[in-house]
Amino acid sequence: MHLSRQTEPLYRELAAVLREELRHLAPGDYLPGEIQLASRFSVNRHTVRRAVDELVLEGRLLRQQGKGTRVLAKPLIYPVEAGSAYSESLSALGHRVEAQLLERRQRAASQEECQHLQLPDAAPLIELSTLRLLDGQPVSLIRHRFCASRAGLLTDYQGGSLRQHLAERDLHLTRTFSLIGARLPSREEAARLLMPQHAPLLTVLTLSRDVAGRPVELALSTSRADRFQYQVAP
């Protein structure tokens, strides 16, 4: 199959052809290799690589070193509502959700954290860092911060839905504040989320309270922007 070689750069024309063909592939399918695509379209591998780069930046494909290039699902719509919980909301959409505990540490709270959690200056915090995977693919990093007085409820947490873990211990939380932003990932974040450093992250700072209205958790999630769309309830 030959491309038309019009005035548009060849790699963009190839990207348009591949973009249309992705509609007939399922999420998780692998794209043919560069050599195979170059031969099929009578172009060099550099042109194929640039075309695939375009689709990676659009969030349609994911490169996995040593494995190949996989087709990604369309961005997920995550409802940012008072009672929504990450794992439960996405599981309800039919996705396999995993939460891995990466780190547990105690440190002094920053001024901003003290303001949100209504703590005295430099009060001790418990911080849990988790990695969220959807259908086996890493999509989000979340830092959960609690007053150190809650340490007893968190000692035996080893992974899974943290909101459910707390509910099983009779601590029910409701989201009362969310601040959505965007930025580029650090080198470590890009490595954890299998994404290029020049692709954006979506960030959500969330404050959750208990049934008495007391602030309990301040969480910061950083998610691949090509995998999420946040829907804010009116």
Residues 56, 101 within the same domain: no
Model confidence pLDDT, tens digit, residues 74-113 = 666 666 665 666 666 666 667 788 999 999 999 999 999 9
Sort strands 215-224 and 201-209 into parallel, antiparallel or unpaired: antiparallel
Using left for φ > 0, alpha for ψ between -120 and 50, and beta otherwise, residue 134 falls in beta
Exposed / middle / buried, residue 111 (Cβ in 10 Å: 0-12, 13-18, 19+): exposed
Residues 178, 198 within the same domain: yes
Total domains present in the chain: 2
> Which helix (DSSP H) or strand (DSSP E) does residue 155 occupy?
none
User: Can you give the CATH number for the domain in which 89 is found?
Assistant: 3.40.1410.10
Sort strands 76-80 and 228-232 into parallel, antiparallel or unpaired: parallel
Per mean pLDDT, which of 20-24, 63-67, 87-91 is the most reliable? 20-24
Residues 102, 86 within the same domain: yes
Mean pLDDT of 53-67: 82
**Cβ distance 180 to 123 under 8 Å?**
no
Model confidence pLDDT, tens digit, residues 130-167 = 999 988 889 899 999 999 999 999 999 999 999 999 99
User: Is 163 a domain residue?
Assistant: yes
Model confidence pLDDT, tens digit, residues 173-217 = 999 999 999 999 999 999 899 887 888 999 999 999 999 999 999
User: Can you give the CATH number for the domain in which 67 is found?
Assistant: 1.10.10.10
CA distance 123 to 204: 23
Residues 82, 67 within the same domain: no
